Amino acid sequence: MNSGMIKLLATVLAMAIVQQILIFILLIPIFPNQSSFGFSVKANRIKVSNEIIIPFGASYHQLQKDNYLPNPAVVKNGSIVTWNNQDILDHTVTADDGSFDIQIIHPSSSRTSVIEAIGNITYHCKIHPWMRAVIRSEITH
Ligand SMILES: [Cu+2]
């Protein structure tokens, strides 16, 4: 095998690798939420949860929807729910119907509330009223 052939083989191999990388990059927008691609699955899918995260930057953008995660949060009626403020600002957790109201949760701290109401309870932050989410309080037997 002369050096010309080796160069040719190396070039073909390099092109094949580049092609694979390009195909992978092109597929990312098609499967952005697939964990098999190494991306985190979005946290706002419906699941049973008694901990709700206020993520970093939760109030930064008035159009953003990931203010409290998960959203909706499905909980057992009468259970204790913890809100964990991972942001750098104070936030409140205030039910629109007044059934619960955590006045202030400071950064890097948690507060809890017992969910007494049944069904979908919308809540918000009084400081940043565009921060909104839903708790689904279900009766389970
Ligand atoms: Cu807030």
What are the residue ranges of helices labelled H in the chain? 3-27
Instruction: Domain 47-138: give its CATH code.
Output: 2.60.40.420
Domain edges within the chain: 3-37, 47-138
CB 110 within 8 A of CB 84: yes
Q: Could you tell me the distance, in angstroms and rounded to a whole number, from the CA of residue 53 to the centre of ligand 1?
A: 12
CA of 132 relative to ligand 1 center, distance in Å: 9
Q: How does pLDDT run across 71-119, given as a tens digit for each residue?
A: 999 999 999 999 999 999 999 999 999 999 999 999 999 999 999 999 9
Neighbours of ion ligand 1 (CB under 5 A): 59, 91, 125, 127-128
Which DSSP helix (H) or strand (E) runs through 83? strand 80-85
10-46 confidence digits (pLDDT tens)? 888 878 776 776 666 565 555 444 434 444 444 444 5
State in Å: Cα 30 to ligand 1 middle: 33
Of 89, 120, 123, 86, residue with least CA distance to 104: 89
Model pTM? 0.65
Cα of 128 vs centre of ligand 1, distance in Å, is 4
- Cα 39 to the chain's mean position, in Å? 12
